């Protein structure tokens, strides 16, 4: 660890941070109240609110968001005329899934082999602790040099969008010059990483109709137009021979310019079976961060058990398209719909409908906030340089904030490196990463204020 006084303070605060994370992990704050009592989420929300009050935050409030959950908000005033930084994390967690698959109880923070295990330890209760540690370290070393807003969401893992809608209805509440989303992660332990892009996505449902009703495949098959066969043709046209996504008019050849994802490592992470090839072209990073990816999520057709010898009159599919950064999701949706309509054969009737959509995100890495973060990471991770990674999935709140505050700079960092196994059984956090990233965040706030 560097000898910067802020980093030394963070190191001295780690035992307290561990005790606090244990308290927070003990709440079963899964925001699905059919599965886990609401009181567990309320307990976690109150814990966060109390922690903010104890740090001198004013206006601490539990916000009732439209999805029936609560987000915790607080404001810590800084020096007159200072800039405002919003720190984001979420206190809700994924359900533990297979409890028997955990080596230690999911809601008891447990140390093993130098890591702390527990649901939410990394995603994202650790993120809340990271924000607290950074602020405490600054207070012990001359004070927090900016205005701080904290928002801790209560339903991120459910995707019910409560905070997004609340933020849209209260557009001033989360306004900030810079936003730090503490819900991402380093590319690997010890390699300081900012996530600079998120792919967007669109969901389209396609229905193909060819006949008034199903027909006997012996009597009519061979000439009767089969809706399922037509749908399969249309879906297959979304891929090239090597498996690359090919939607007419949609750019598919972009290159990723940040850090690279080793192909063997990817095979291991994705648990690809021996002898099976990866699909697509370009580097792995190109494919998962910079290029479109189509996935057929479901097909309505007769299941194998109970299937009869019939030519199908109708068939449906749900198609997801991950939209590369720099491409408008609405435009991608139109292109996908047009492609499906153009590639459905035999004059079969096809109807497409958009079910959902989220914009891609790309940060401005030339901004002052990125320089401040690069300098902070160089100190907190001696000998390393800040790396740029992408994320193949989306964070809808990120887009909401980017749309509400187009001038704000957004940085995604966090504790969810690959070993953390977020969303899986045996989730854990690296205490070393918690220490280095908390120091990073504190140093970032110092640099940014200066
Ligand atoms: Zn998360």
**122 Cα to the center of ligand 1, angstroms:** 8
**71 Cα to the center of ligand 1, angstroms:** 14
Name the burial class of residue 384, with classes exposed (0-12), middle (13-18) and buried (19+) by CB atoms within 10 angstroms of its CB: middle
**How confident is the model at residue 399, as a pLDDT?**
87
Cβ atoms of 390 and 289 within 8 Å: the answer is yes
**130 Cα to the center of ligand 1, angstroms:** 14
The CATH number that domain 5-198+361-449 falls under is 3.40.630.10
Q: What is the CA radius of gyration of the chain?
A: 24
* DSSP codes joined into one string, 305-327: TT--SEE-SEEEEEEEEEEPTTS
What residues are annotated to the active site? Answer: 92, 156
**How confident is the model at residue 1, as a pLDDT?**
45
**295 Cα to the center of ligand 1, angstroms:** 23
Q: Which CATH number fits domain 200-254+291-358: 3.30.70.360, 3.20.20.80, 3.40.50.300, 3.30.530.20?
A: 3.30.70.360
**359 Cα to the center of ligand 1, angstroms:** 18
Q: Report the b/e string of 220-231 with b at 16+ CB within 10 A.
A: eeeebbbbbbbb
Contacts for 235 with CB less than 8 Å, ≥ 6 apart? 296, 317, 319
The Cα 373–Cα 444 span in angstroms is: 5
**331 Cα to the center of ligand 1, angstroms:** 28
Cβ atoms of 180 and 124 within 8 Å: the answer is no
Please name the helix (run of DSSP H) or strand (run of DSSP E) that holds residue 201, with its range, or none: strand 200-209
Per-residue pLDDT of the chain (450 residues; tens, 9 = 90+): 447 999 999 999 999 999 999 999 999 999 999 999 999 999 999 999 999 999 999 999 999 999 999 999 999 999 999 999 999 999 999 999 998 999 999 999 999 999 999 999 999 999 999 999 999 999 999 999 999 999 999 999 988 889 999 999 999 999 999 999 999 999 999 999 999 999 999 999 999 999 999 999 999 999 999 999 999 999 999 999 999 999 999 999 999 999 999 999 999 989 999 999 999 999 999 999 999 999 999 999 999 999 999 999 999 999 999 999 999 999 999 999 999 999 999 999 999 999 888 889 999 999 999 999 999 999 999 999 999 999 888 888 898 999 999 999 999 999 999 999 999 999 999 999 999 999 999 999 999 998
Q: How many C-beta neighbours within 10 Å does residue 351 have?
A: 13
**334 Cα to the center of ligand 1, angstroms:** 30
**162 Cα to the center of ligand 1, angstroms:** 15
**58 Cα to the center of ligand 1, angstroms:** 26
Q: How are the residues of the chain apportioned to helix, strand and coil, as percentages rounded to the nearest 5?
A: 35, 25, 45
**365 Cα to the center of ligand 1, angstroms:** 23
The Cα 378–Cα 373 span in angstroms is: 9
The Cα 234–Cα 316 span in angstroms is: 11
**220 Cα to the center of ligand 1, angstroms:** 53
- CA nearest 47: which of 75, 66, 28? 28
Cβ atoms of 327 and 249 within 8 Å: the answer is no
Cβ atoms of 43 and 147 within 8 Å: the answer is no
**183 Cα to the center of ligand 1, angstroms:** 5
Backbone angles phi, psi at 45, to 5 degrees: -60, -45
Q: Which residues pair with 194 in a beta bridge?
A: 388
- CA nearest 401: which of 155, 180, 167, 194? 167
**How confident is the model at residue 2, as a pLDDT?**
45
Backbone angles phi, psi at 245, to 5 degrees: -75, 130
Provide the CB-side half-sphere exposure for 192 (13 A, CA). Answer: 25
Length of the chain: 450
Cβ atoms of 391 and 198 within 8 Å: the answer is yes
**Secondary structure tally for the chain: helices H, strands E:** 12, 18
**120 Cα to the center of ligand 1, angstroms:** 8
* DSSP codes joined into one string, 48-110: HHHHHHHTT-EEEEEEE-TTS-EEEEEEE--STT--EEEEEEE------S-GGG-SS-TTS-E
Which residues neighbour ligand 1 (ion) by CB within 5 Å?
A: 123-124, 183
- CA nearest 123: which of 407, 430, 441? 430
- CA nearest 107: which of 19, 29, 14? 29
The Cα 163–Cα 152 span in angstroms is: 9
273: helix, coil or strand?
coil
Residues of each domain in the chain carrying CATH 3.40.630.10:
5-198+361-449
């Amino acid at each position: 660890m560097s000898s910067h006084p802020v980093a030394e303070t963070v190191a001295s605060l780690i035992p307290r941070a561990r005790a606090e994370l244990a308290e927070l992990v003990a709440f079963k704050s899964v925001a699905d109240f059919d599965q886990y009592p609401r009181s567990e989420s309320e307990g976690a929300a109150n814990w966060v609110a109390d922690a903010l009050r104890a740090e001198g935050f004013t206006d601490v409030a539990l916000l009732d968001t439209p999805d029936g959950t609560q987000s915790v908000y607080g404001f810590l005033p800084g020096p007159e005329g200072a800039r405002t930084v919003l720190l984001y994390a979420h206190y809700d967690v994924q359900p533990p899934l297979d409890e028997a698959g955990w080596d230690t109880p999911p809601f008891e923070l447990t140390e093993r082999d130098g890591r702390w295990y527990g649901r939410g330890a990394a995603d994202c209760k650790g993120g809340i602790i990271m924000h607290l540690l950074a602020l405490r370290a600054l207070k012990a070393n001359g004070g927090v040099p900016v205005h701080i807003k904290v928002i801790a969401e209560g339903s991120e893992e459910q995707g019910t969008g409560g905070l997004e809608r609340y933020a849209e209805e209260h557009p001033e509440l989360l306004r900030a010059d810079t936003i730090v989303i503490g819900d991402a992660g380093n590319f690997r332990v010890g390699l300081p990483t900012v996530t600079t892009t998120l792919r967007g996505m669109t969901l389209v449902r396609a229905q193909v109709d060819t006949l008034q009703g199903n027909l006997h495949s012996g009597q009519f098959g061979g000439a009767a137009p089969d809706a399922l066969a037509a749908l399969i043709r249309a879906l297959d046209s979304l891929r090239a021979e090597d498996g690359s996504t090919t939607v007419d008019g949609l750019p598919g050849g972009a290159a990723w310019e940040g850090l690279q994802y080793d192909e063997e490592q990817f095979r291991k992470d994705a648990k690809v079976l021996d002898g099976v090839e990866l699909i697509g072209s370009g580097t792995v990073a190109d494919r998962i961060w910079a290029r479109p990816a189509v996935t057929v999520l479901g097909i309505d057709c007769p299941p194998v058990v109970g299937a009869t010898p019939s030519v199908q009159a109708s068939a449906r599919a749900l198609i997801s398209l991950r939209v590369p950064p720099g491409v408008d999701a609405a435009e991608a949706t139109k292109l996908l719909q047009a492609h499906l309509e153009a590639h459905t054969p035999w004059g079969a009737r096809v109807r497409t409908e958009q079910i959902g959509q989220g914009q891609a995100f790309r940060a401005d890495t030339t901004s002052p906030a990125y320089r401040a973060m690069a300098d902070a990471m160089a100190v907190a991770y001696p000998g390393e340089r800040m790396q740029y990674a992408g994320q193949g999935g989306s964070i809808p709140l990120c887009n909401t904030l980017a749309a509400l505050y187009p001038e704000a700079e957004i940085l995604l960092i966090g504790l969810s490196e690959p070993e953390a196994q977020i969303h899986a059984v045996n989730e854990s956090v690296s205490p070393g990463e918690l220490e280095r990233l908390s120091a990073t965040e504190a140093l970032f706030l110092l640099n940014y204020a200066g």
